[in-house]
Structure 1
Amino acid sequence: MKIGVISDTHGHVPEEALAALAGVEHILHAGDVGPMAVIQKLECIAPVTAVRGNTDHGIDLPETAVFERGEIKFLLHHIVDYPKPTGSAAEAIKEYQPDVVVFGHTHMPCDEDSDGLRWLNPGSAAQPRGLHPASIMLIEVGESLGTQLVVLDRELPA
């Protein structure tokens, strides 16, 4: 199964991100979505599991979500304070016992194994920071978990 991972869209999904997500079977959005129109646009590609971020005021998304595919359990939470989660993120990890933690907020990609967990952050699709380009991530779930960071064109709306 191919899964698309996106975060920190802040109301804008670049066309290049939509093209890269074409063909995925599910999309995980790790928060700072912007208006729900972003989710609706992504749902035209595949079903979406999303969480709210710290800038998602007034939209109806959970703080934490769990998505399971085969033997792999993904936990989505916008701010996790990687590598040492605190607060509600630490509580969710303890409660749900995921294999993979998908997060956003930093606008910086991450793909690390630590403390028995896989930590994935696709970076920001719409508001890259510093030297980190706009990006999303593709996950291939099979006998193992394969990931690919997809770097997007930095040409973003003014």
Structure 2
Amino acid sequence: MMNSKRRPERGTQIGVISDTHGLLRPEAIEALIGSDLILHAGDIGKLEILEELNTIAPVVAVRGNNDTGAWAQTIPETETVTVENVTIHLLHIAKDLKLDPKTAGIQVVISGHSHKPSLEQREGMLFLNPGSAGPRRFKLSISVACLYVKDAIVHAQVINLLDTEVPLGLS
């Protein structure tokens, strides 16, 4: 388990954010600084969110169910990226996953939508929801996540931005 935001030596740090709904909090920006890549799992809210994130690191984003404006039409519903021999599949709603990650060679599946952060290891694959970094919904935490990839090994951590709860982490 990774207990700090320290990145593995010579590894790649990937910031993961979702459900900003047009609000990019300063705490989220601070948590994502140092990322080599940022993945946004949908419900972005407006193009300016992606533009601001892109000042930190290159951004790969997927369209969420609330991203309905003309600005969002060119954003794909799913995206697959490979970082240091780790294949990551990104979509907004986990139940809309249309492929078998294991047979597709995917090691990490990232989704948003629920606003509830989660990290789960299943059959050698990591399923990550960074939670919501935008407006608070119900009593759920405000959070982002970081993936640390080195030599095809992934460490993950959910970072609570406004709450004092212990972060979730998996190695």
TM bin, normalised by shorter chain, reads 0.7 to 0.9
Would the aligned equivalents of 1:80 and 1:90 in 2 still touch at CA under 8 Å?
Answer: no
**1:138 Cα deviation (Å)?**
1.0
CA distance in 1, matches of 2:33, 2:110: 20
User: 2:128 aligned with 1:117, yes or no?
Assistant: no
Give the corresponding residue for 1:61. 75
CA distance in 2, matches of 1:131, 1:33: 20
**1:153 Cα deviation (Å)?**
2.0
Would the aligned equivalents of 2:101 and 2:107 in 1 still touch at CA under 8 Å?
Answer: no
- Tell me which of 162, 165, 171 is aligned to 1:153: 162
CA distance in 2, matches of 1:92, 1:57: 27
Would the aligned equivalents of 2:23 and 2:135 in 1 still touch at CA under 8 Å?
Answer: no
Give the corresponding residue for 1:37. 48
Map 1:2-151 onto structure 2 (within 5 A).
Answer: 2-58=13-69, 59=72, 60-81=74-95, 87=96, 89-91=97-99, 93=101, 96-143=104-151, 144-151=153-160
Gaps of 5+ in 2: 1-11, 164-171
**1:20 Cα deviation (Å)?**
0.9
Task: Encode CA deviations 1:54-107: one digit per residue, 9 max, x unaligned.
Answer: 0000312100001110110000010012xxxxx5x2237478431100000000
The letter of the residue matching 1:62 is: P
Instruction: Decide whether aligned partners of structure 1 residues 34 and 95 sit closer, same or farther in structure 2, where only a CA change above 3 A counts.
Output: farther
CA distance in 1, matches of 2:51, 2:104: 27
Would the aligned equivalents of 1:2 and 1:139 in 2 still touch at CA under 8 Å?
Answer: yes
Gaps of 5+ in 1: 82-86
TM-score normalised according to structure 1 size: 0.86
TM-score normalised according to structure 2 size: 0.80
Identity of aligned pairs, percent? 40
The letter of the residue matching 1:117 is: M
